Amino acid sequence: MRTDKAPTLKLARGRNHLCHLVSVVDATGQLRFWPLWWNLSQAWHGPALLDKLPGPAIRRIRLGKTPEGGVHIDVSRKTVGAWQTNDRLGVFAELPELWPGWRIECWDDRFEEHLRQCDGRTARF
């Protein structure tokens, strides 16, 4: 696993700044969001990301800008989907190694797929 590329996990400065959006559907079916600092894909953390997410989760989110990228994790389905506007370090190719035993979905730069996974009900950007 290439943990040397795992970015520092910290909340983004604000809703009108670029971010990397992490959404998680937990084992109870609750959907939560974390807008994080945006340099690299948070998917580099692998499943450990779930235990490292900083600060309180957000139930509803409306961002002023489209994120730089995103990760959607469905714990019950053991599925992770990722998208990035620029995959310059190759996270998509490494997702199977980073997330062993998980079903991987690469959405390239299609943020709309992230919104679809969230049923469009609570995420807006």
Domain boundaries, the chain: 3-118
Q: What is the pTM assigned to this prediction?
A: 0.89
**Tokens coding 108:** 């390239």
Q: For residues 18 and 39, what is the distance between their CA atoms, to the nearest angstrom?
A: 9
> With pLDDT > 90 as the criterion, what percentage of the chain qualifies?
57
- Looking at the predicted structure, is the pLDDT value of residue 88 above 60? yes
Helix or strand or coil: residue 121? coil
Residue 102 Ramachandran class (φ > 0 left, ψ -120 to 50 alpha, else beta):
beta
* 4, pLDDT greater than 50: yes
Contact yes or no for 98/3 (Cβ under 8 A): no
- Three-state DSSP class for 27? coil
Provide Rg for the chain, Cα atoms.
13
pLDDT one-digit tens code per residue, 7-63: 788 888 877 778 899 999 999 999 999 999 887 889 999 999 999 999 888 888 888
Secondary structure, 3-state, 57-115 = CECCEECCCCCCEEEEEECCCCEEEEEECCCCCCHHHHHHHHCCCCEEEECCCCHHHHH
pLDDT greater than 70 at residue 120: no
The answer, yes or no, to whether residue 73 has pLDDT greater than 90, is yes
